């Protein structure tokens, strides 16, 4: 191997799944190609490791850390078109482009995600109901395939490979660089409105009712207080504010970057620190704090989009056993009923979710991409047997309603559920067979879900 690999134990963000791999960190395309040419397999790209489960893990194989391939290659101010390497992060984009009045078209709930990771998971944001997922804004990318060839992929060139790679979780090759469009903004602030709601039914209704009026919407749901408080929520709606609006409100630097250094947790909290009691207390406090904030206010993008980033490695709060996130997408038809049924099952099981959010989803293209027009519900849990047992029950409900689990968050789905949830898997597998017939690109996720076995059969 040309670059000296380091043997490392890696985890997903949830720290529940882990694997030992040889990790290389190429800095140039030539080094990346040398890694592939060296012939060691299985191989997998990794960004900042923000996928929760085992999507970025490759126990016993090679992990190619892309974070040093992080150069911005070109930017056209007129069109907002940006070309950059896959290791560039959303944090880098904000730092460079927010002061110039440009913003990513889709942004996840943390800015510590690489663009390669964002495309491989085809991430969605709080604006999916309007603007779809990240791939909808990507014009093209270059992919390094298993035989060492570089393919330029777009909707017109190698289009099947384009659609198999977005949401393909790194299994078709390594995204080297990509071209996509930033959107112009007038200020780095959003005008946010908060609606406290007393029931889940009202929350879903409100998200439906206001989807045309607001570009960004999300509802935090209290899934820890059982009884009459169960399912109450705080729904947040926002649009970008104009420069004139924020200046009128006394904000003197409408396009400033907020560089607050995140607090870090220096050690793992004891297992059990996040328990029913602490979660219930947090939910009560959160609801009461936001219940009174009903006046519209201006919030900086950092506060609106990345509240969790204020606490650097907050995943350590869950202790050594880690956390699990259950995120499902539920199609519009009966979607409301499905969300309610899932939360009713949660209430029956008495497993408290420490954080639960509901979003609306809009149109979507792709083969293994997660969103379907409807709703997405994401819930965090301490990694415990009771949580995993609950997930099995929830998978049944999600399947019954024609929904699916997000591969970037998953740590427990069965191969059978995966095949039923992703009906375009066979089309995807045909593309994989063409570009990577020997299964050089593989992950713990692909092995657990039977993807590698399907390729070999």
Ligand X SMILES: Cc1cc2nc3c(=O)[nH]c(=O)nc-3n(C[C@H](O)[C@H](O)[C@H](O)COP(=O)(O)OP(=O)(O)OC[C@H]3O[C@@H](n4cnc5c(N)ncnc54)[C@H](O)[C@@H]3O)c2cc1C
The footprint of ligand X (CB under 6 A) covers: 13, 44-51, 55-56, 66, 86, 108-110, 113-114, 116-118, 120-121, 123-125, 169-170, 174-175, 308, 408, 443
Give the C-alpha separation, 313 to 208, whole Å.
34
Q: 242 vs 313, which CB is nearer to ligand X? A: 313
Q: In a 3-state reduction of DSSP, which class is residue 369?
A: coil
Q: 45 vs 339, which CB is nearer to ligand X? A: 45
Q: 55 vs 204, which CB is nearer to ligand X? A: 55
The CB-of-250 to ligand X minimum distance in angstroms stands at 31
The CB-of-90 to ligand X minimum distance in angstroms stands at 9
Q: 127 vs 187, which CB is nearer to ligand X? A: 127
Give the C-alpha separation, 24 to 5, whole Å.
5
**Cβ atoms 3, 24 nearer than 8 A:** yes
The CB-of-161 to ligand X minimum distance in angstroms stands at 12
**Which residues, other chains included, contact 428 with Cβ-Cβ below 8 Å and sequence gap of 6+?**
164, 168, 367, 368, 422
Q: Which long-range contacts (CB under 8 A, 24 or more apart) does 308-312 make?
A: 308/109, 308/110, 309/110, 309/111, 309/112, 309/262, 310/260, 310/262, 310/263, 311/262, 311/263, 311/264, 311/265, 312/262, 312/263, 312/264, 312/265
The CB-of-181 to ligand X minimum distance in angstroms stands at 18
Q: 110 vs 217, which CB is nearer to ligand X? A: 110
Q: 66 vs 246, which CB is nearer to ligand X? A: 66
- Reduced DSSP (H G I as helix, E B as strand, rest coil) percent helix, strand, coil of the chain, to 5: 30, 25, 45
Q: 60 vs 296, which CB is nearer to ligand X? A: 60
* Residue with the CB atom nearest ligand X in the bound state: 47
The CB-of-71 to ligand X minimum distance in angstroms stands at 13
Q: Of 161, 182, 108, whose CA–CA distance to 366 is shortest?
A: 161
**Cβ atoms 142, 127 nearer than 8 A:** no
Q: 64 vs 246, which CB is nearer to ligand X? A: 64
**Which residues, other chains included, contact 192 with Cβ-Cβ below 8 Å and sequence gap of 6+?**
236, 237, 238, 296, 297, 298, 299, 304
The CB-of-410 to ligand X minimum distance in angstroms stands at 10
DSSP string of 303-358? HHH-GGGGBTTGGGGG-TT-EEEEEEEEESTTHHHHHHHHHHHHHHHT---SEEEE
């Amino acid at each position: 191997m040309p670059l000296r690999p380091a043997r490392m134990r890696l985890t997903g963000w949830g720290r529940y799944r882990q694997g030992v791999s040889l990790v290389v960190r190429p800095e140039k395309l030539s080094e990346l190609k040398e890694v592939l040419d060296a012939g060691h397999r299985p191989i997998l790209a990794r960004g900042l490791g923000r996928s929760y489960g085992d999507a970025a893990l490759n126990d016993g194989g090679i992990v190619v850390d892309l974070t040093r391939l992080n150069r911005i290659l070109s930017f056209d101010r007129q069109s907002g078109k940006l070309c950059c390497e896959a290791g560039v992060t959303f944090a880098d984009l904000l730092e460079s482009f927010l002061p110039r009045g440009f913003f990513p078209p889709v942004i996840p709930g943390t800015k510590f995600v690489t663009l390669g990771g964002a495309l491989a998971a085809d991430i969605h944001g709080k604006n999916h109901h309007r603007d779809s997922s990240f791939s909808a804004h990507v014009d093209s990318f270059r992919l390094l395939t298993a035989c060492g060839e570089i393919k330029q992929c777009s909707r017109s060139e190698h289009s099947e490979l384009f659609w198999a790679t977005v949401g393909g979780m790194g299994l078709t090759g390594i995204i080297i660089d990509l071209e996509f469009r930033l959107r112009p903004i007038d200020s780095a602030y959003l005008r946010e409105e908060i609606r406290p709601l007393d029931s889940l039914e009202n929350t879903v209704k409100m998200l439906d009712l206001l989807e045309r009026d607001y570009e960004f919407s999300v509802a935090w749901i209290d899934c820890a207080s059982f009884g009459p408080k169960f399912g109450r929520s705080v729904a947040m709606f926002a649009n970008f504010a104009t420069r004139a609006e924020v200046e009128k409100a006394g904000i003197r630097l409408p396009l400033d970057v907020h560089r607050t250094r995140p607090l870090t947790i220096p050690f793992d909290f004891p297992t059990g620190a996040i328990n029913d009691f602490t979660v219930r207390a947090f939910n009560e406090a959160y609801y009461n704090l936001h219940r009174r904030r009903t006046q519209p206010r201006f919030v900086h993008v950092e506060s609106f989009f990345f509240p969790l980033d204020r606490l650097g490695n907050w995943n350590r709060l869950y202790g050594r056993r880690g956390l699990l996130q259950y995120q499902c997408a539920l199609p519009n038809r009966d979607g409301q009923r499905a969300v309610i049924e899932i939360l009713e099952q949660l209430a029956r099981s008495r497993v408290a979710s420490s954080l639960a959010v509901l979003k609306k989803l809009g149109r979507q293209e792709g083969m293994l991409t997660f969103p379907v027009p409807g709703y997405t519900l994401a819930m965090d849990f301490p990694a415990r047997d009771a949580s995993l047992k609950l997930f099995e029950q929830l998978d049944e409900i999600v399947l019954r309603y024609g929904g699916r689990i997000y591969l970037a968050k998953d740590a427990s789905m069965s191969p059978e559920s995966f095949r039923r949830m992703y009906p375009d898997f066979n089309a995807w597998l045909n593309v994989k067979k063409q570009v990577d017939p020997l299964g050089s690109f593989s992950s713990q996720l692909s092995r657990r879900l039977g993807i590698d076995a399907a390729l070999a059969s």
